[in-house]
């Protein structure tokens, strides 16, 4: 239990000086050289009352801020849902390097907690001409894009850990290379000898991914046929794509904020 602290030197009337009964007595006392004193109720201070009041005010302000945050949710920094991620992702830089955008496929899902959107698109170069008796396969690149907007929780604390995938036996250690000036944090993720790099981005409540790979379609071409030839005409070179991936990612982020 908190007791009231006593104020040292509490004022009271001196025992040797009678309390004046009125102005005349006060004047007489002054004339006699004695102190003039009109008694009143003792002064008592309660400093803990003011301290407690300050704590209560601060607590009320903090509780109000939390209540407002809970109602408004986290700051989405302008990001919104993507109705068609393949339209939002122009991929101009990658298309110039790898081939024209074709066969886009997009999907979207909305929820109170998070919005998700995906896009896959082929980047198809011009097919090299077939020489008589020497059929060639179709080699094309592709891009996969994912976008997740977290509307309730902060994805930041688990972002780095979510990029580390269990390594397949003999696949080699996964490498994360920090990419500056892209969102809040961005990594180029790859494995030694891996031809499918991915750019992973955290920007506030938004998490984005852009990966590039290649596939070879033989169609009716039999690679065991003696007439089959595999040359560099149809090979998609994925080396040195980081600047193009960064350029296209930044353009996508701006587009998602402008919707």
Per-residue model confidence as pLDDT tens for the chain (259 residues): 444 444 444 444 444 445 445 444 444 444 444 444 445 555 455 554 445 455 454 444 444 444 444 556 889 989 999 999 999 999 999 999 999 999 999 999 999 999 999 999 999 876 655 555 556 677 789 999 999 999 999 999 999 999 987 766 555 678 899 999 999 999 999 877 666 889 999 999 999 999 999 887 766 655 555 444 544 444 566 778 999 999 999 999 999 997 6
d(CA 58, CA 36) in angstroms, rounded, equals 45
d(CA 4, CA 42) in angstroms, rounded, equals 14
Classify residue 232 by its DSSP letter: G
Structure-token pair, residue 230: 């595999």
The model's pTM is: 0.66
């Amino acid at each position: 239990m908190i007791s009231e602290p006593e104020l040292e030197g509490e004022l009271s009337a001196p025992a040797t000086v009678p309390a004046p009964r009125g102005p005349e007595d006060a004047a007489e006392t002054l004339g006699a050289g004695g102190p003039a004193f009109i008694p009143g109720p003792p002064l008592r201070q309660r400093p803990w009352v003011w301290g407690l009041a300050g704590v209560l005010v601060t607590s009320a302000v903090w509780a109000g801020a939390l209540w407002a945050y809970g109602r408004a949710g986290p700051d989405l920094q302008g990001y919104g849902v993507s109705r068609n991620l393949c339209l939002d992702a122009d991929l101009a830089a990658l298309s110039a390097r790898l081939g024209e955008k074709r066969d886009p496929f997009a999907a979207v899902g909305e929820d109170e907690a998070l919005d998700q959107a995906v896009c896959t698109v082929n980047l198809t170069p011009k097919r090299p001409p077939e020489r008589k008796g020497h059929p060639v396969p179709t080699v094309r690149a592709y891009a996969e894009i994912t976008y997740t907007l977290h509307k309730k929780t902060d994805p930041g604390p688990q972002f780095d850990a979510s990029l580390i995938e269990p390594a397949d036996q003999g696949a080699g250690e996964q490498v994360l290379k920090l990419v500056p000036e892209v969102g809040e944090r961005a990594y180029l993720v790859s494995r030694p000898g891996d031809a499918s790099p991915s750019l992973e981005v955290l920007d506030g409540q938004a998490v984005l991914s852009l990966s590039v790979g290649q596939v070879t379609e033989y169609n009716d071409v039999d690679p065991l046929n003696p007439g089959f030839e595999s040359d560099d005409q149809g090979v998609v070179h994925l080396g040195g794509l980081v600047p193009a991936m960064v350029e296209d990612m930044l353009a996508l982020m701006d587009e998602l904020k402008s919707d």
